[in-house]
């Protein structure tokens, strides 16, 4: 089954007991806005997970702006919400799927495959007259046991190694290891930076803006369209994906897997972690 589901698909299964719907709405710079929106109205039965309080660890000297949560801490939070190892999770947000994709990636990192993203997010759901409510469900706690998949992740040392061995290239075609920067073009080039202390990108990285994996309505492009989008990449290459803080990289991971790539890993700390090490070089422009 695809990693995304349609509104009609979810409506038909809205009250199935094994399913947990998770509202992941969050606005950077307005940390209470997502929860406020959830409390005002949400998809019936949905519980709420906060990007910074639940899906990240506290910020430290390294690890970036959204460090990964401790697996056991997240597992305990999921258990409290009634999410167990047999649950089917459908996540949504109102940010083109970037926060929902963070939860999608995290659950798979914890060994849970039954997790999906709602195409189009909450605003489309509401605009098309699907049901909403302000009732917050009472969930019976369950047991979620983490089975961490370390192969899905790389750390700064691995990225340093790949970057240092990268020869200047105009194309990733033929490369066995590829660094993909998921941020907007102007941030990649170092022309604009409003979130992090330094502008630019990891030397040797290639820019594939995460929003270009989606259609105008916020749904993900189909497998054939994504294969065309990533056609410069070799299917058997090791692909390391990063962004500013490890959040918007997740939709790119999903899109790459949807396009058939098998060896895709996340640099979770991303650019904000990279620049926390003074010795790490920074590239700007087209290199």
Residue range 48-52: mean pLDDT, rounded: 98
> H or E stretch including 102?
helix 98-109
Alpha carbons within 13 angstroms on the beta-carbon side of residue 84 total: 9
Phi-psi category of 135—alpha, beta or left, where left has phi over 0 and alpha has psi -120 to 50? beta
Closest CA relative to residue 55, chosen from 246, 270, 213: 246
Spatial distance between the Cα atoms of 154 and 159, rounded to a whole number of angstroms: 7
Q: Do the first three CATH levels of 4-148 and 151-274 match, i.e. the same topology?
A: yes
- Catalytic (active-site) positions: 243
CATH superfamily of this structure's domain 151-274: Rhodanese-like domain (3.40.250.10)
217 pLDDT exceeds 90? no
pLDDT at 8 over 90: yes
pTM over 0.85: yes
- Tally the residues of the chain: 287
Question: For the domain bounded by 4-148, which CATH number is listed?
Answer: 3.40.250.10
Q: How confident is the model at residue 219 (pLDDT cuts 50, 70, 90)?
A: confident
pLDDT digits over 245-274, tens only?
999 999 999 999 999 999 999 999 999 999
Alpha carbon 193 to chain centroid, angstroms: 20
Q: Which residue in 227, 182, 224 sits closest to 205, CA to CA? A: 182
- Is residue 139 within 8 A of residue 82, CB to CB? The reply is yes
Q: What does the domain layout of the chain look like in residue ranges?
A: 4-148, 151-274
Assess contact for 144 and 83: CB atoms under 8 A: yes
Q: How far apart are CA 183 and CA 150, in angstroms?
A: 24
Residue 214 has pLDDT above 70, yes or no: yes
What integer pLDDT is reported at residue 1 of this predicted model?
Answer: 64
Q: Output b/e per residue, 56-70; b: 16+ Cβ within 10 A.
A: beeeeeebbbbbbbe
Per-chain mean pLDDT for the chain: 95
Q: What is the CA radius of gyration of the chain?
A: 19
């Amino acid at each position: 089954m695809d990693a995304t589901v349609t509104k009609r698909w979810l409506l038909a299964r809205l009250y199935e007991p094994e399913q947990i719907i998770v509202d992941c709405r969050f606005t950077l710079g307005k940390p209470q806005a997502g929860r406020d929106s959830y409390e005002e109205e949400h998809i019936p039965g949905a519980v709420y997970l906060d990007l910074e309080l639940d899906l990240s660890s506290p910020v430290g000297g390294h690890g970036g702006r959204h460090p990964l949560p401790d697996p056991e801490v997240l597992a305990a939070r999921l258990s409290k919400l009634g999410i167990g190892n047999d649950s089917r999770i459908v996540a949504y947000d109102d940010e083109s799927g970037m926060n929902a994709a963070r939860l999608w990636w995290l659950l798979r990192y914890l060994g849970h495959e039954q997790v999906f993203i709602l195409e189009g997010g909450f605003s489309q759901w509401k605009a098309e007259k699907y049901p909403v409510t302000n009732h917050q469900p009472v969930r019976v706690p369950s047991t979620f046991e983490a089975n961490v998949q370390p192969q899905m992740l790389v750390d700064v040392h691995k990225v340093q190694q790949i970057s240092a061995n990268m020869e200047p290239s105009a194309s990733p075609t033929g490369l066995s290891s590829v660094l993909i920067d998921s941020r907007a073009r102007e941030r990649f080039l170092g022309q604009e930076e409003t979130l992090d202390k330094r502008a630019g990108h990891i030397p040797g990285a290639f820019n594939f803006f995460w929003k270009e994996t989606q259609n105008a309505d916020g749904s993900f492009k189909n497998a054939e369209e994504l294969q065309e989008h990533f056609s410069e990449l070799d299917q058997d290459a090791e692909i390391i994906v990063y962004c500013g803080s490890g959040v918007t990289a997740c939709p790119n991971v999903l899109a790459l897997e949807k396009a058939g790539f098998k060896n895709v890993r996340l640099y979770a700390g991303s650019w904000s972690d990279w620049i926390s090490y003074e010795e790490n070089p920074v590239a700007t422009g087209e290199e």
